[in-house]
Amino acid sequence: MPELPDVETWRRYVDATSLHHRIGRIDIDAPRMLQGVSRQTLRARLQGDAFESTTRHGKHLFLRLESGPWLMLHFGMTGRLNYFKDPDGVPSHTRLLIHFDNGFHLACVWRRRLGRIGLVDDPASFVREERLGPDAYEPGIELAEFKAMLHGRRGSVKSALMNQRFLAGIGNIYSDEILFQARLHPRSRCQRLDSQELAVLHRAIGHVLRIAIERQADPERLPQSWLLVNRRERGECPRCGAPLAHMAIAGRTAYYCPDCQREQQ
């Protein structure tokens, strides 16, 4: 499932390929994925316009049109982008296809139709309306603010990290890596984390997201010392070699090392 590092990689991909080209025809194959806009309106607003900039919040990507509004993309569980020239090379499962006047095309691909496509006037207003938490990679979240955000919060730290209204952008995969780097059991209770554990967790969030973005969220380029490299049935801890364990938390499967990430007593 695409998480913050994946979406940031797609944002930079759009910046490098799709800005300042006049938009021609728009093909929409998944009207049920449209949020707050009809197929006709989306087509009318995009055709003849051009993308001038991008921004991101959590797992949402925003592409600003020269005329003012922003195209909003949420990648769901399987979304990705593909910029290409060959008109016969349209990827399978393309739900939104944007044709540029330079002869290239931007395909918004979802194998499963669980993403969202919309038009918004302002990303900041959209974030407030969706009640999203601060972006997990936002450098403005200082340690003191992070501690205040977790103060008195009930439930497991794994659930908190995946809660988009607490912190936007982290999902099941990267929450496992963050907790592995912080040596915290995924079932650790937020209210029982001490000041040092919170500091280590805060640092692990920034470290994991930064490295993943630098490696373009490519699993084959992630450090061999990371849990994600071995995150599977019968996988082994890259730190101590112990068999990885897994459990269900908040409806998701959490992988962890039972030796390196001891459960609170």
Nearest to 86 by CA among 104, 108, 107, 106: 104
Per-residue pLDDT tens digits for 31-86: 889 999 999 999 999 999 999 999 999 999 999 999 999 999 999 989 999 999 99
- The active-site residue out of 3, 69, 80, 186 is 3
Q: pLDDT for 98-123, tens place per residue?
A: 999 999 999 999 998 889 999 999 99
Per annotation, catalytic residue among 11, 56, 59, 116: 59
pLDDT above 70 for 265 = no
87 is annotated as an active-site residue: no
Q: In this structure, which CATH number among 3.40.50.720, 3.90.420.10, 3.20.190.10, 3.40.1170.10 belongs to the domain 4-129?
A: 3.20.190.10
Tell me: domain 143-256, CATH 1.10.3720.10, correct?
no
Which one of the listed residues 2, 69, 186, 238 is annotated catalytic?
2
Q: What is the chain's length?
A: 265
Domain boundaries in the chain? 4-129, 143-256
- Is 85 annotated as catalytic? no
DSSP for 193-223 reads: --HHHHHHHHHHHHHHHHHHHHTTT-GGGS-
Give 145's pLDDT tier (boundaries 50, 70, 90): very high
Active-site residue 52, yes or no?
A: no
Mark whether 252 is an active-site residue: yes
